[in-house]
Amino acid sequence: MSSQAVTTVALLADPDAPTEIAHRVARKLPERLSERAGDGREFDVHVVSEPFTAGAEDPATLRRRILERGREEDWDVVVALTDLPLHAHGRKLAVDLDHEHGMAVLSLPSLGGLGFQRRARRAVEDAVLNLTHAQVAGAGGTPRREPLLTFVGRLAPIRRSRADDDEAVDLRYVVTGPRGYLRLLLGMVRANRPWRLVPGLSKALATALATGAIATVNATVWSLAGTLSTPRLVIATVGSIALMVGWLIVDAGLWHRTADASPEARQRDALYNASTVVTLGLGVLVCYAGLVVVNLLWALFILNDRVYTSVTRTPLDGGQYWTLSWFVASVATVGGALGSSLESDEAIRAAAYSKREQERLRMVRDEREDHER
């Protein structure tokens, strides 16, 4: 330990979202750790942002890097945060603890999407205190391996698991069951931050807005919108969003497909592909909602009641404005899908994925090209 009553804690975080989370957690972490630890112990917390997962997803490799980094700085406890889902021997990892070296690796997607900040704070606190208590106990006897309170509980889809004998891990938690899979998927989607898709696809949005503006004043569109029932409008919405998502995936090469044919690799690819579809789906849905609002405002400004009624034989009331704006949003989304072809592949990946996920995609792409050669 660095001092008898002071523990030096490092939050080693991947760049981008994990670093932001580490900074938010670190604001009140020393006070909360001191309160929970008792015995007058103080904590000195540092946030270190560096890509410790660059070029590797193997937990053993990551632990070795973290251990070497900790020895360089002489930290007492290191908690590493990454927004990548980690796997080991077919199991989806939530957290690994190595009490001997005072080290923990936390996969943030395992915390899910809802209540994420609270779970991240508790997970870091529990990991630090667990490692600290083990070090204190180890100074005078056999260290205890206490469970992490954040991950125990009947309803939590995370369970304690045994690590293999050749791994330097003495406390491990893994994601289990369908609920655990869903929680991990939501965590991956949150890490991708789908709301960034809106400003990230500027050319596609410009094309969609232009398409919507023209369609709103088109007499044929008026007649079509007036004949559509709500179920058909819903089908048009789902179809246009699916078309946009599919186009983005195909055009930018976002579908994961590795050369490894093992069951574990296939499961991992399925998880990544599911997160891609959900991320893009949510992002396009936000764009769609924005198009409905913009089209409605444009229709309220530009349409003339007498002209509309002479064409459709239907008075232009609130229901007609809403139906027309809804249908035009679907037409505009299809136009936006075509406009997305003007975006570079890198721009689409930057809008759809976190920085670390973009790096992982480049690695997969390079491996595929090497294999094809």
Share of the chain above pLDDT 90, in %: 40
Report which listed range, 19-28, 133-142, 144-153, 201-210, is most confident. 19-28
Report the pLDDT value the prediction gives residue 140, as an integer from 0 to 100: 47
Lowest-confidence region among 5-9, 20-24, 322-326: 5-9
Report the pLDDT value the prediction gives residue 78, as an integer from 0 to 100: 94
Report the pLDDT value the prediction gives residue 330, as an integer from 0 to 100: 96
Q: Could you list the beta-strand ranges (E) of the chain.
A: 6-13, 42-49, 77-82, 86-88, 91-98, 103-107, 158-161, 171-175
Report the pLDDT value the prediction gives residue 291, as an integer from 0 to 100: 95
**pLDDT of 21 higher than 80:** yes
Give the integer Cα–Cα distance in Å for 137 and 144: 7
Lowest-confidence region among 154-163, 191-200, 344-353: 344-353
**pLDDT of 139 higher than 60:** no
Report the pLDDT value the prediction gives residue 142, as an integer from 0 to 100: 47
Report the pLDDT value the prediction gives residue 212, as an integer from 0 to 100: 95
Report the pLDDT value the prediction gives residue 328, as an integer from 0 to 100: 96
| 314 phi-psi bin (left φ>0, alpha ψ -120 to 50, beta other) | beta
Average pLDDT over residues 139-150: 54
Report the pLDDT value the prediction gives residue 165, as an integer from 0 to 100: 63
**pLDDT of 107 higher than 80:** yes
Between the alpha carbon of residue 188 and those of residues 73, 274, 285, the distances in Å are 31, 10, 18
Q: How confident is the model at residue 104 (pLDDT cuts 50, 70, 90)?
A: very high
Q: Give pLDDT tens digits for 301-353.
A: 999 999 999 999 989 999 999 999 999 999 999 999 888 877 776 777 776 77
What b/e string do you get for 343-370 counting C-beta neighbours within 10 Å, with b at 16 or more?
beeebbbbbbbbebbebbbeebeeeeee
